[in-house]
Amino acid sequence: MGPLAGIKVLEIAGIGPCPIAGMMLADLGAEVILVERAAANKNAAEVGQNGFFNRGKQSIALDLKDPKAVESVLQLAEQSDVLIEGFRPGVMERLGLGPEVVHQRKASLVYGRMTGWGQDGPLSHAAGHDLNYLAISGILHYGGLPGDAPYPTPTVLGDIGSGSNMLVLGILAALLHAQRTGEGQVIDAAICDGAIYNQTLIAGLRGEGAISETPSETFFGGASPWCNSYPCSDGRYITVQALEPNFYRELIALCGFEDDPDFARQHDKKTWPAAREKMAVLFASKPRSHWCELLSGTDACFAPVLSLPEAAEDEHIRARECFVAGEGLLQPAPAPKFSATQQEVGDVPRSGEHTERILRSLGKAG
């Protein structure tokens, strides 16, 4: 069993990072009851959120416009340690399931709220997505290749890194507080807030003068030869990010540039364009497999750019057992790994699969 065995979580079904936070808690061993709509959520179906995000959860399907169904949810909340929801501000209150009502039923409950912009502020009721939160938080500004627009990133840094992960972090901290004091609290987890918190390293480097406000002049923006992605002769890509001086020296030595004056001073931005072009020509001269053989496992800070299926077959990833197969999909395995507890990947329930059993546990007919 996972380290959260014995913790009970009530998740109100939605879209976005909240279902992934629920999956993370289930992967960690918590008992997660998912309250789904009696009728399918078309938006969720359109973005494929009926897949493995619900692994390991129990599903109850209810019509939350029905007062009897709302009462059932409140009874489930009384039996839970955590409630999580990902609606816009005010939706749960209109359903009669807001924090004030729930905390009257169980004062120690941790009430986790996941939104893009937060529960208050001028944008709190506006729609948004990963790219928007990264843009307004200051992160996106530093991305993109020299002379190009800041590029859209996969929905990882915002929704997951700044959303789901921050909500789970808040839940775990609030659970410790509740166990010590008996006091529950509301977690206002906003992706925008999390994105700003996650750029701590960028803020620190900026304060040290290591990065510029002009993306084309900073290594984060692909301006340097030693922090970049390069195409190979077979059309595939590799990456290098030899930030520290000793790693930089190993990279240029392995690439044959240790005596080239354009590589003599790592942080001399005047030589970056010429050095970057030489790197590009070098890597374009051989297939990706050649560079993997030469640079993998060295301190040159190298890795090939792999697709998900390729990553699943990579020697290191396989050794770490980072993927699992299930539901006809290639799924990320739970992370991190623990020495004393074993995380398990549960099955994905059918919508409403556990409705009758859960209602019977409340003393109600299914």
Q: What 8-state DSSP symbol labels residue 340?
A: S
Diameter over CA atoms, the chain: 80
> Please, which residues have CB within 8 angstroms of residue 259's CB and are 6 or more apart in sequence?
none
Q: What 8-state DSSP symbol labels residue 157?
A: I
Distance CA 214, CA 143 (A): 10
Which residue out of 129, 141, 177, 290 is catalytically annotated? 129
Cβ atoms of residues 134 and 195 within 8 Å: yes
The one-letter code for the residue type at 23 is M
Which residue out of 27, 81, 159, 262 is catalytically annotated? 159
Pairing label, strands 227-231, 237-241 = antiparallel
Tokens of 278: 């030489």
Tokens of 238: 């590799």
The one-letter code for the residue type at 126 is A
Residue 354 designated active-site = no
Residue 268 designated active-site = no
Residue positions counted in the chain: 366
Tokens of 264: 């003599």
Distance CA 215, CA 204 (A): 16
Catalytically active residues, by annotation: 129, 159
